[in-house]
Amino acid sequence: MSEFDQEVKKAEQELEQQSLVPVSPQGEEFGSSLDDEYLGDLKMQAQEYQQKFQDAAIKAKDFASEKFAQASDKFKEISNKDPKELVEEAKEFARQKPGQTILISAAVGLVLGLLLKRR
């Protein structure tokens, strides 16, 4: 049995266990009423997933809007400062948190290296 056939059998077994859809109809037992029942269950589950997806999309939009507003405020704050003041703040940050400074420098170097390598 090929790997594909094994995966198909595994999927069929999972569907049977969850009673989502009939995998192998047997005779008259699977009439239109049972088909309607399975279709109704599938439709209900699809609606539940649609609602979950919409909720997640709304949360993601709210999160992105909040972060965009924070970034915009920070950009305005930085653009209003004197360059000498920014340099002094960077030096003070480096004194207080040398480990983070090294990691940030390494990340910036990596990104710049990748950008320049592509050219």
Displacement of CA 18 from its chain's centroid (Å): 26
Q: What's the confidence (pLDDT) of residue 20?
A: 55
9 compared with 107, residue with greater pLDDT: 107
10: number of CA atoms within 13 Å, CB side?
7
Rg, C-alpha atoms of the chain: 28
Could you read off the pLDDT of 25-79 as tens digits, one per residue? 554 444 556 667 777 788 888 889 999 999 999 999 999 999 999 999 988 988 8
Query: Residue 101 in contact with residue 94, Cβ under 8 Å?
Result: yes
Q: Which two tokens stand for residue 7?
A: 């995966």
User: What is the distance between the terminal CA atoms of the chain, rounded to a whole angstrom?
Assistant: 49
Question: Does position 13 have pLDDT exceeding 80, yes or no?
Answer: no
Q: Domain residue spans in the chain?
A: 30-80, 82-119
